[in-house]
Amino acid sequence: WHSPTTPDIDCINPELKKLDWQYLTHWTHTSYSPWCNETKFDFYKSAIESTDDYSHSAFRGLSRILSTGEICTTRRNIRGNVDVVSFTEIPPNLAIFFMRWRKGLIRHYWEPYGIAVEREALYSIGARPVIYGDENIYDLLDENNRYLFPVSYTHLTLPTN
């Protein structure tokens, strides 16, 4: 097993830029801890028994979401004491800029596996997308929306062209 490399921007289908992206996406990443509702014993057992593909790879994470119909919540890298499932409105052709190794996390932030849900369907049940930016943007946020601003994105910016 090996960690995936960061996708090459030149390999992205140019048709993606033309899409009117009306979805929020939950991108997966490789996990080095148990899934929600999984014991540590089962986690270590699955990791030891992995042969061709690591048991908690990003692809296996997506497969698990699709088979269980459930996305685990987390408080990791979230401001405040709130359980969340992170969804972004960043379209796939720009999401590639977040698919890079993050030394501080000891993993890729996102990997090229995710599930997209229509934005309006998620809004109708109260979901809101992650808010990105620097600390100045965070300071401008209403107290009720600060949990939408992740701890670790303040230095990542999207290209303007």
Q: What is the mean pLDDT of each run of 10 residues along the chain (161 residues)?
A: 59 77 89 87 91 85 92 76 84 77 67 89 90 82 83 54 50
pLDDT of the residue at 107? 66
> What's the whole-model pTM score?
0.74
Asked whether 35 and 138 are in contact (CB, 8 A), the reply is: no
What pLDDT does residue 37 have? Answer: 85
Q: How far apart are CA 143 and CA 141, in angstroms?
A: 6
